[in-house]
Amino acid sequence: MPDRKNVYLHYVETDETKHKVEHLRELGKKYNFHLVDHIGDANIIASIGGDGTFLQSLRRTNFQEDCLYLAINDDHLGFYSDFDLDNLEGIEEAMKTDMVEVLRYPLLEVTVDGQKSFYCLNECSIRSTVIKTFVIDVYIDDLHFETFRGDGLVISTPTGSTAYNKSLKGAIVDPRLASMQLTEMASLNNNEYRTLGSPLLLSGDRELVLRIVQDGNDYPIIGADNEALSIRNSKEVKIRVADRQVKMLKLKDNSFLHKVKRSFINQ
Ligand code: NAD
C-alpha cells in the first residue's frame, strides 16, 4: 500500500477501544500512516468491531469505490475481519511482509420505486411488518416467475451467503462468482399457492423485480444488511449485482473457504 496512507477509522468509542486505538495509531505512525477525521480525505477505511460494525462502516462511508476497506475485530473473529486489535504484532507483520492481498467483493444495487438506490454487501431483505401473509410478484428479467406468499424474501451476495441466507438453507457461494441468491422466508406452498420452494442462484447480469401486491399489507420493511430502511408503502424493488465492488485488504492465508471450513465444519 505504498501510496495509501490516509486512514479513516470507524468504531464505537468506549474506554477500552480508546486505549487500543491509541496503540494502533502509534503503530500506524511508525509506517507513515495518518489518521484522518473526514472520509473525503481517506484512502483506507478501517472498521474496528465485528461484522455488524464493518457493514455499518460501509454504509456510513457510502461504499467508497476509491478506498481500500479493512476490518479489524476487537473481540471474536468475524467473516469480514482478518486482523485482530489485540494482536498488533500480527498487523505489523502483515504490513511488513507480503501476507496481504486486495480482494473485490460483489455488491447488490437495490432501487425502490425507481428512486432511492442503495448498496448491500450481505443481503437485501424484504418482509412484512404485520402478521399476515405478504404477497410479492417475482419477476426475473421480464418473466413473471412466481407469486410469493409468506413472511418475506432475502436476496444475498456471495459473501452474504454465509449469513442470513445460510439460516434459510441457501447455498454458500464463492465470492469469485458475481451473482445473487434468492431465498424464501416461510413460503406458503399448497394446492392454491406455489413457489419454487428452494434457493435460486442468479447470474450477475439478471435483474430481479419484486412487486409488492397492494392488498392492505403493503408496509414492508426493507433491510439493507443490518439497517432497516424507513421506506413506507413501497411498491417495486429492483435488485441487481452492482457495477461497483468493495475493495478489501485481506490476509492471503485466510481465504473465504478457510473461514467457511473454520466456522461451519471444524477449526
Ligand atoms: P453482528 O456482527 O452481531 O452479526 C451477527 C452475526 O452474523 C455474527 O455472528 C456475525 O459474525 C454474523 N455475520 C454477519 N455477516 C456475516 C457473513 N457475511 N457471513 C457469516 N456470518 C456473518 O451484526 P448484525 O448487525 O447483527 O449482523 C447483520 C447480519 O446478520 C445481517 O446482514 C444478516 O446477514 C444477519 N442476520 C441473520 C439472521 C438469521 O440468520 N436468522 C437474521 C437477521 C440478520
Q: For 207-262, what is each residue's pLDDT tens digit?
A: 999 999 877 766 789 999 999 986 777 889 999 999 999 999 999 989 999 999 99
Whether residue 254 is contained in a domain is answered as: no
Give yes or no for a contact between 42 and 67, defined as CB atoms under 8 angstroms apart.
yes
The verdict on whether 51 is a catalytic residue reads yes
Helix (H) or strand (E) holding 220: strand 220-224
Which protein residue's CA is at the shortest distance from atom 40 of ligand 1? 164
pLDDT at 217: 65
Q: Three-state DSSP class for 9?
A: strand
Evaluate whether residue 121 is within a structural domain: yes
Same domain, 90 and 198: no
Parts of the chain with a pLDDT under 70: 1-2, 217-218, 230
Q: Show which of 64, 97, 130 is a domain's final residue.
A: 97
Residues 118 and 108: their CA atoms lie apart, in Å, by 8
Q: What is the pTM of this model?
A: 0.95
Which of the residues 37, 51, 142, 225 is marked catalytic? Answer: 51
pLDDT at 188 (0 to 100): 94
Per-residue model confidence (pLDDT) at position 260: 96
**Does the residue 1 lie in any domain?**
no
Q: Are residues 209 and 135 in the same domain?
A: yes
Query: Is 122's C-beta closer than 6 angstroms to any atom of ligand 1?
Result: yes
pLDDT given at position 2: 54
197 shares a domain with 84: no
Q: Are 42 and 7 in contact (CB under 8 A)?
A: yes
> Which residues does 135 contact at the CB level (< 8 Å), separation at least 6?
147, 148, 149, 212, 213, 215, 217
Mutate to test the pocket of ligand 1, among 12, 47, 51, 166 (most ligand atoms within 8 A of CB): 51
Domain that holds residue 152: 107-244
Alpha-carbon dihedral sign for residues 44, 49, 54, 58: negative
CA–centroid distance, residue 52 to ligand 1 (Å)? 7
Question: Do 160 and 195 belong to one domain?
Answer: yes
The domain boundary residue, chosen from 78, 97, 116: 97
Are 66 and 180 part of one and the same domain?
no
Percent of the chain at pLDDT exceeding 70 = 97
Among 97, 125, 145, identify where a domain stops.
Answer: 97
Residue 222, beta-bridge partner list: 126, 229
Tell me, yes or no, whether 81 and 119 share the same domain.
no
Same domain, 175 and 89: no
Classify residue 253: in a domain, yes or no.
no
Residue 66 within any structural domain of the chain: yes
Neighbours of 229 (CB within 10 A): 17
Tell whether 112 and 83 lie within a shared domain.
no
Residue 259 lies in a domain: no
User: Which ligand 1 atom sits nearest the alpha carbon of residue 166?
Assistant: 40
257: amino acid identity, one letter: L
Q: Identify whether 168 is part of a domain.
A: yes
Based on the fold, state whether residues 174 and 47 are members of the same structural domain: no
Residue 78's identity, in one-letter code, is: G
Instruction: Answer yes or no: do 130 and 199 share one domain.
Output: yes
β-bridge partners, 147:
137
How many domains does the chain contain in total?
Answer: 2
